C-alpha cells in the first residue's frame, strides 16, 4: 500500500514495487476495509484502557465482584474511605457479611 500525506492509501503496489491499477470502486472498498479495521482497533484499545483504569485493590479480594465493588465505591467514594470504614459500616452493603468485611479490611491495610 502506498500512502499519501494524510496517511490514506492512494495505491497498491506489487512485488516489483509497481503500482497496480485499480478502479475507484476497488479503492473505495479498500478504504472501507481499512477504516473498519482502524475503528475496531481503536475500540479494542479503549476497552483495554478503560478496564485497566477501573482496576483497584478491591478486584484482588475474593468475594468482591463488580456489583459489590460498585456499591462500596458508591457508598464510600474511595478506597481510602473504605479502608477507614468500620466493620459495621462495611456490613451495611448488601452481600457483605462480617467475614467479608474483615477480609476487605485486611486486604486494604
- Residues in CB range of 10: below 8 A, 6 or more apart: 2, 3, 4
Q: What is the pLDDT of residue 52?
A: 63
d(Cα 23, Cα 17) in Å, to the nearest integer?
Answer: 19
> Over 70: is that where the pLDDT of 96 sits?
yes
What pTM, to 2 d.p., does this model score? 0.51
> Over 90: is that where the pLDDT of 102 sits?
yes
d(Cα 95, Cα 24) in Å, to the nearest integer?
Answer: 61
Q: What is the pLDDT of residue 7?
A: 82
pLDDT tens digits for 14-43?
999 999 999 999 999 999 999 999 999 999
Amino acid at each position: 500500500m502506498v500512502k499519501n500525506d494524510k496517511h490514506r492509501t492512494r495505491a497498491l503496489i506489487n512485488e516489483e514495487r509497481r503500482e497496480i491499477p485499480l478502479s475507484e470502486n476497488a479503492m473505495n472498498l479498500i478504504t472501507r476495509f481499512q477504516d473498519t479495521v482502524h475503528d475496531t482497533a481503536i475500540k479494542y484499545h479503549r476497552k483495554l484502557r478503560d478496564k485497566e483504569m477501573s482496576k483497584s485493590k478491591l478486584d484482588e479480594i475474593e468475594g468482591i465482584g463488580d456489583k459489590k465493588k460498585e456499591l462500596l465505591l458508591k457508598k464510600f467514594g474511595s478506597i481510602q474511605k473504605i479502608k477507614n470504614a468500620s466493620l459495621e459500616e462495611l456490613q451495611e452493603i448488601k452481600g457483605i457479611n462480617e467475614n467479608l468485611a474483615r477480609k476487605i479490611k485486611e486486604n486494604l491495610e
